[in-house]
Amino acid sequence: MRHLIIAPACLAGALLLSACDRNEAAEVDRAFQDVNAIDATNLNAVMLNASDPNEAATYFSRALQDNPDRIDLQRGLADSLIRARRNTEGAAAWKRVAAMQGATSEDQVNLAGALIRTGEWDQAREVLNAVPPTHETFQRYRLEAMVADAAGDWDRADSFYETAVGLTTTPAGVMNNWGYSKLTRGDFSAAERLFGEAIRQDQSLFTAKNNLILSRGAQRNYTLPVIPMEQTERAQLLHTLALSAIKQGDIRIGEGLLREAIETHPQHFDEAARSLQALQNG
């Protein structure tokens, strides 16, 4: 009789130990799942900032094979494709993101940016028009300015550029774009001012320096401004100024500037030398 009592007790103990083992195993599995989720999140962030965007695009493409409904992975793929200058693929990827559940206004803005890169200005305008006015970001207004620029809506473009400048701590790039817009309109003095402000914000922005020379040359001001420049940059800017003078019909001034550019360059300045030879050959 004593054996009959002991047997059920042993069986209950075995079942209890088995349940404990299962619980511990489940806890371990959950712990590893949490770790894997953290690792995957960190890896996604690393790949988003990878120096080779094509490698990042490959990583996200593979990840999406197992998780096609993960919007974060879709965003990673779209962003990587744009960084890799695969703009057509990037625009298609951002369209997928914008159509997914959980898509945000920022996803719409990114889609608009991708559409601009592929030259689809009308679609970009439609996408931006659908973004709520409460979504006020630098990227949104920068793109709004570009779209208005492309449509020749100068008042809206100026308003959007001004708003964008006020929403970033690094406005040099958008100031350069705004200046170029003024340059294409023929407002050379305003363009010169904006390029100068862009250079003060970012002294390494050579595009703004070159555009500044173009705006001065268009006003027949053929002296280099007082801005930070290396010797090679100085030679290149003198070359740009020379071409501006020649375009304005000031041939002799242009020839002198070409010679100065060749002498200034620390190495052989082939491009300026060819320009001078072409000028001398009539």
How does pLDDT run across 224-265, given as a tens digit for each residue?
Answer: 999 999 999 999 999 999 999 999 999 999 999 999 999 999
Res. 40: pLDDT tops 70: no
Tell me the mean pLDDT in the region 63-74: 93
DSSP letter (8 states) at residue 203: T
Helices assigned H by DSSP within the chain: 2-48, 53-66, 71-83, 87-99, 105-117, 121-129, 138-150, 154-165, 172-185, 188-201, 206-218, 231-247, 251-264, 270-280
- Give the pLDDT confidence score for residue 246 in this predicted structure: 94
Tell me the whole-structure pTM to 2 decimals. 0.79
Predicted confidence band of residue 57 (pLDDT cuts 50, 70, 90):
very high
**Residues 90-123 pLDDT 10s:** 999 999 999 999 999 999 999 999 999 999 999 9
**Percent of the chain, pLDDT > 90?**
78
The mean-pLDDT minimum among 2-6, 78-82, 231-235 falls in 2-6
Give CA–CA dist 16/18, Å, rounded. Answer: 5
Res. 194: pLDDT tops 70: yes
Give CA–CA dist 228/214, Å, rounded. Answer: 17
The mean-pLDDT minimum among 6-15, 193-202, 242-251 falls in 6-15
For the chain, domain boundaries: 229-282
